[in-house]
Amino acid sequence: MDKLSTIWNFIRRYKYGFVLCVFILLIGVVGEYSLWQRYKYKTELRHLRSSIRQYTEMYEHDTRYLEEMNTNPEIMTKIAREKYFMKTDDEDVFVIQKEGEDE
């Protein structure tokens, strides 16, 4: 009982500080709109924006590449030869791979 009364006297004496500490704890850690959650959301938003930027750059690169393929037939033959190993009738294609490498 003595411990309980000393705790109660401490809380009564420093009630404003105690309420302030509880308020800071609630705002900082507990709840959906806490500072911790806001930090996590901001980090996730930064990551998503960098992903959007990366995919936008890839889209622009592929769009330019597709436009170049549609306008220049030499590019189409270059892609067919390099990527799909196609050849003309009068030539041979040799594919050289290092040991341990897969396709």
pLDDT digits (tens, 9 = 90+) for 10-20: 888 988 998 89
| Cβ proximity of 21 and 14 under 8 Å | no
In angstroms, the CA 75 to CA 28 distance is: 58
In angstroms, the CA 45 to CA 55 distance is: 15
pLDDT digits (tens, 9 = 90+) for 45-66: 999 999 999 999 999 999 998 8
In angstroms, the CA 15 to CA 21 distance is: 10
Q: Is the pTM of this model over 0.95?
A: no
Q: Which carries the bigger pLDDT value, residue 80 or residue 5?
A: 5
3-class DSSP assignment, residue 66: helix
